[in-house]
């Protein structure tokens, strides 16, 4: 029995295959860009990113209160978000303020929200 996704075409489209191969990224290169997407797959991290997209900069205390989470849980997730380049921080006196790393993160969040609204 054939799958609905199985190609029944017997003709090789050499130009298309060559174009794909010439644009393919090496596995080592793919690991780096794929990490933020894996990180975005966690609802808690998405909540933190959404909060940061609304206010621009927040400290752990404010995030914790806003999201009804412990400071420890927020700090742990922020560490993951920092490692994957989704958030950055700056020190302001004794406070550490977190924000989205750049406009690309905002774009990813907006595109994700738009997509979810379209499929529902």
DSSP symbols for 14-61:
HHHHHHHHHHPPPHHHHHHHHHHHHHHT-HHHHHHHHHHHHHS-B-HH
Task: Provide the domain count of the chain.
Answer: 1
In a domain, 5, yes or no: no
Confidence at residue 25, expressed as pLDDT on a 0 to 100 scale: 72
In a domain, 110, yes or no: yes
Confidence at residue 33, expressed as pLDDT on a 0 to 100 scale: 72
In a domain, 106, yes or no: yes
Angstrom distance (rounded) from CA 31 to CA 25: 10
In a domain, 6, yes or no: no
Phi and psi at residue 86, to the nearest 5° = -90, -25
In a domain, 31, yes or no: no
In a domain, 24, yes or no: no
Confidence at residue 86, expressed as pLDDT on a 0 to 100 scale: 94
Angstrom distance (rounded) from CA 38 to CA 33: 10
Confidence at residue 1, expressed as pLDDT on a 0 to 100 scale: 53
The residue segments making up the domain with residue 74 are 36-119
CB-side exposure of 45: number of CA atoms within 13 Å? 22
* Domain containing residue 110: CATH number: 1.10.10.10
Structural contact between residues 109 and 50, judged by C-beta atoms closer than 8 angstroms: yes
Structural contact between residues 86 and 49, judged by C-beta atoms closer than 8 angstroms: yes
In a domain, 43, yes or no: yes
Angstrom distance (rounded) from CA 33 to CA 96: 27
Kindly list the averaged pLDDT for each block of 10 residues, start to end, along the chain of length 120: 65 85 72 80 95 94 95 96 95 94 92 86
In a domain, 52, yes or no: yes
Prediction pTM value: 0.72
């Amino acid at each position: 029995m054939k799958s609905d996704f199985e190609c029944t075409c017997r003709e090789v489209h050499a130009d298309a295959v060559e174009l794909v191969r010439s644009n393919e990224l090496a596995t080592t290169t793919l690991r780096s860009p794929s990490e933020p997407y894996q990180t975005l797959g966690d609802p808690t991290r998405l909540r933190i990113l959404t909060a940061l997209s609304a206010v621009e900069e927040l400290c752990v205390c404010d995030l914790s209160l806003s999201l009804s989470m412990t400071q420890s849980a927020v700090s742990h997730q922020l560490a993951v978000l920092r490692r994957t380049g989704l958030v950055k921080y700056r020190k302001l006196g004794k406070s550490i303020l977190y924000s989205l790393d750049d406009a690309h993160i905002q774009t990813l969040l907006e595109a994700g929200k738009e997509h979810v609204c379209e499929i529902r």
